[in-house]
Amino acid sequence: MTGPLDWLFDATLTVAGHDVLWREILGNLFGLASAVGGLRRRVWAWPVGIVGNVLLFTVFLGAVFHTPQTIDLYGQAARQVFFVAVSVYGWVRWSRTRRTALAAGVEDAPAVEPRWATAGERVLLLVAAAAGTLLFAWVFTRLGSWGPWADAWILTGSLLATYGMARGWIEFWLVWIAVDAVGVPLLLTAGYYPSAVLYLVYGGVVVHGFLTWWRTRRAADAAKARVATDVPGGVVPAPGPTTGVAGAASTLGRREDV
């Protein structure tokens, strides 16, 4: 086969006697770059992530696309499809917020303002996590997927985490930690070594991202409290442009993130 696209599809790298697809490596690197962009609350995180999703979709259908592993992880493959759909939603949502900030004269604004999910939203997350895992485990078992229960949670948790990122929920980082805890053993056992290693790297990024978003939210709350203290009568003037937190003072234009 000839041409750069054909090379990308077939090229492998031998590591410790195992053939590893370059598109698995590149797909995970795009995913890592997307995670860093999400940490920094940048709109480009979404399209970069979509590129990685497309590459990894072909990797996890091993038997279909004749990858070295020849093991089909239907949950891993399906989540790439869902990732694209949710990423389009996040891309549109963050882009709209960014345009609003620019229209308000804020040049270097993050695309979302972190907030904690409400009690109701957390309940919905837990219900969706349980229901999604049960449903996808049943489907993957029927399809003959390898490791259906682990695969089902990884798919469900990944979708919830991606949706939470689009909404600006700080808890989405914690969901990613739970996904990584299951994903690393599954991928190592299935022979997807680059993905397993990148999951470990994601773990460090995720912990850092959680702490960064938490500090950003805490700084915004502290600033709002100071304003309330300084204003006579404790009445806070209407805030400037916000990014999804009703009534909360915006951190647009301030770079607490890294």
Report the pLDDT value the prediction gives residue 193, as an integer from 0 to 100. Answer: 80
Please, are residues 203 and 244 in contact by the beta-carbon 8 Å criterion? no
Question: Which residues, listed in sequence order, are joined to residue 12 by a DSSP beta bridge?
Answer: 21
Mean pLDDT within 20-27: 84
| Residue 44 φ/ψ, nearest 5 degrees | -65, -15
Report the pLDDT value the prediction gives residue 147, as an integer from 0 to 100. Answer: 81
Please, are residues 200 and 184 in contact by the beta-carbon 8 Å criterion? yes
Instruction: Please determine, for residue 93, whether its predicted confidence score (pLDDT) is greater than 50.
Output: yes
Report the pLDDT value the prediction gives residue 258, as an integer from 0 to 100. Answer: 33
Q: pLDDT-based confidence at 244, cuts 50/70/90?
A: very low
Q: Burial, 12: exposed, middle or buried (Cβ in 10 Å; 0-12, 13-18, 19+)? A: middle
Provide the whole-model pTM. Answer: 0.73
Retrieve residue 41's tokens: 């609350």
Instruction: Please determine, for residue 17, whether its predicted confidence score (pLDDT) is greater than 70.
Output: no
Retrieve residue 22's tokens: 């370059």
Gap between the Cα atoms of 194 and 179, Å rounded? 16
Report the pLDDT value the prediction gives residue 140, as an integer from 0 to 100. Answer: 86
220 vs 233 pLDDT, higher one: 220
Instruction: Please determine, for residue 113, whether its predicted confidence score (pLDDT) is greater than 60.
Output: yes
Report the pLDDT value the prediction gives residue 5, as an integer from 0 to 100. Answer: 57
Mean pLDDT within 52-66: 75
Question: Which residues, listed in sequence order, are joined to residue 54 by a DSSP beta bridge?
Answer: none
Ramachandran class of 3: left when φ > 0, alpha when ψ lies in -120 to 50, beta otherwise: left
Instruction: Please determine, for residue 12, whether its predicted confidence score (pLDDT) is greater than 70.
Output: no
Please, are residues 196 and 179 in contact by the beta-carbon 8 Å criterion? no
Q: Report the chain's C-alpha Rg in angstroms.
A: 20
19 vs 148 pLDDT, higher one: 148
- Side-chain half-sphere CA neighbours of 171 within 13 A: 15
Question: Any residues with CB less than 8 A from the CB of 64 and at least 6 apart, and which?
Answer: 72
Mean pLDDT within 169-176: 95
Ramachandran class of 110: left when φ > 0, alpha when ψ lies in -120 to 50, beta otherwise: beta
Gap between the Cα atoms of 54 and 112, Å rounded? 25
Report the pLDDT value the prediction gives residue 254, as an integer from 0 to 100. Answer: 31
- How many whole angstroms from its chain centre is CA 251? 22
Mean pLDDT within 59-73: 61
